[in-house]
Amino acid sequence: MEEKEISQAVIGRLPRYFRYLGELKDEGVERISSQELSELMKVTASQIRQDFNNFGGFGQQGYGYNVEHLYKEIGRILGLDVIHNFIIIGAGNLGQALGNYLNFERRGFIFRGMFDINPQLVGRDVRGVKVMPMEEMERFVRENDIDIAVLTIPKTSAVEVAERLAANGIRAIWNFAHVDLNVPEGIQVESVHLSDSLMKLSYNISRYKKEKENS
């Protein structure tokens, strides 16, 4: 199956399909048409068919898609059929929240290590994982087949830490620091800029107020 040159916009929509299909599967639904999926997800049926055509269409035959097959296929495309070991850099509230999030484990993301610069946090236990000092990060990444590093540290240190991770073979960075990271080619970065999301919300509140005042 050809999986090249698929836009990040399409990729960005796959987890949502995966989520809805998982729920349908749990509810015992066996088949679903693109029309029904369209109504459920509030996207057009043609968008769904276009998205799925990027992956060969997933063999819609007669009445709709086989839910379990589609769920498994999308999971496989998303790389959820393999184990990804991850570490968290920054043992503050957000780091601990992510470390404690069991759903990641269900998707094959395994929490292996946690690091912090603050000696008072070193040694603390987060769901069976002990917080280690930053000096041990590089060795740990090299020796424990770590794919993903989650950065929940201030932006002032994020750039330097990302460079150290890149130099030691990390494959991907999930970045919560409020800064854009430039890493060598081949290292994947996905940023969650929480303030940006909040500002977008603020914009939409303001716009709606203005529209209401003007109408």
Residue 130 lies near its own copies (rule: CB under 8 A)? no
Of the two residues 20 and 140, which places its CB atom closer to its own copies in the complex? Answer: 20
Stretch that binds its own copies, among 24-32, 55-63, 94-102, 138-146 (CB under 8 A): 94-102
Residue 144 lies near its own copies (rule: CB under 8 A)? no
Q: Give ∠ CA 185-85-154 in degrees, rounded to 5.
A: 65
Please identify which residue in 38, 64, 94, 183 interacts with its own copies, judged by CB under 8 A: 94
CB of 30 to its own copies, least distance (A): 23
CB of 82 to its own copies, least distance (A): 7
Please identify which residue in 121, 132, 146, 172 interacts with its own copies, judged by CB under 8 A: 172
Residue 12 lies near its own copies (rule: CB under 8 A)? yes
Of the two residues 135 and 169, which places its CB atom closer to its own copies in the complex? Answer: 169
Of the two residues 120 and 135, which places its CB atom closer to its own copies in the complex? Answer: 120
DSSP string, the chain: ----S--HHHHHHHHHHHHHHHHHHHTT--EE-HHHHHHHHTS-HHHHHHHHHTTGGG---SSSEEHHHHHHHHHHHTTTTS-EEEEEE--SHHHHHHHT-HHHHHTTEEEEEEEES-TTTTT-EETTEEEEEGGGHHHHHHHTT--EEEE-S-HHHHHHHHHHHHHTT--EEEE-SSS-----TT-EEEE--HHHHHHHHHHHHHHHHHHHHH-
Classify 62 in phi/psi space as left (phi over 0), alpha (psi -120 to 50) or beta: left
CB of 68 to its own copies, least distance (A): 18
Residue 200 lies near its own copies (rule: CB under 8 A)? yes
Q: Which residues bind its own copies (CB under 8 A)?
A: 3-4, 8, 11-12, 14-16, 18-19, 41-42, 77-80, 82, 84, 92-94, 96-98, 100-101, 103-104, 107-109, 147-148, 171-172, 174, 178, 180, 186, 188, 190, 192-208, 210-212
